[in-house]
Every structure is written in C-alpha cells, then in structure tokens.
C-alpha cells in the first residue's frame, strides 16, 4: 500500500482511502484483508467497496469459492494519476493539506 508523506494528520482523506483500497486490489484480495491492511472498519470497507464497484475502479471475482476484489484498468489509471498528483505536490505541503480536508 502507498504511504503518502503529504498528509501530516492521522486521518486520511476520502481520496487517499480510495487510492489505498484500489492499490490493495491490484493483485486481487479478500474484503477482510482490505479491511485489515487498509485499517478500515466493516462499515467503511463496505461503503468504499460499493462506491468503487459503482465507479468501475474495482470488480468482484470468485476464486475457489471466495469473493475477491481486483482493480480494473480504470482503477489502475486512477491510481496512476493519483500518484502523479501526489508526487507533483510533494514539495508544496500547503496545497496537499487543503486536498486532504
């Protein structure tokens, strides 16, 4: 999972959580593993996964009878541009702090 140094607060913003979840899903992962690795509650992971599925950033698949989540091409493109934005803003913490609120 990407750890972005821009956010100086303990709480992540919605965009950062979305990027973290999509990043976790790049290789296929179970919901509980996303929840624990992403440090999200059951309610949060359900809300974010619903949103990401609706946006087409992740997809559900069945692997050996278990539901797993995988990042789609659209999700990987989002992650690419999100990381470009974060890397561009690394030197300007004022802008970065505004985005995470």
> Please, what is the Cα angle at 25 between 20 and 28, to 5 degrees?
160
Residue 22 forms part of a structural domain: yes
Strand partners, 24: none
Segments forming the whole domain that contains residue 19: 14-99
Place of tokens 């990407």: 2
Look at residue 92 in the predicted model and tell me its pLDDT: 62
Look at residue 4 in the predicted model and tell me its pLDDT: 46
Write out pLDDT tens, residues 15-53. 999 999 999 999 999 999 999 999 999 999 999 999 999
Q: How many domains does the chain have?
A: 1
Look at residue 87 in the predicted model and tell me its pLDDT: 86
Residue 46 forms part of a structural domain: yes
Residue 5 forms part of a structural domain: no
CATH of the domain at 86: 1.10.10.10
Residue 51 forms part of a structural domain: yes
């Amino acid at each position: 999972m990407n750890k972005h140094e821009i956010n100086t607060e303990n709480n992540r913003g919605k965009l950062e959580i979305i990027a973290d979840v999509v990043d976790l899903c790049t290789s296929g992962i179970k919901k509980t593993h996303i929840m624990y690795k992403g440090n999200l509650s059951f309610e949060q992971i359900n809300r974010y996964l619903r949103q990401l599925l609706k946006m087409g950033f992740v997809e559900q698949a069945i692997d050996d009878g278990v539901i797993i989540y995988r990042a789609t091409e659209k999700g990987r493109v989002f992650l690419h541009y999100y990381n470009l934005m974060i890397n561009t803003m690394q030197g300007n913490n004022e802008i970065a702090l505004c985005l995470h609120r």
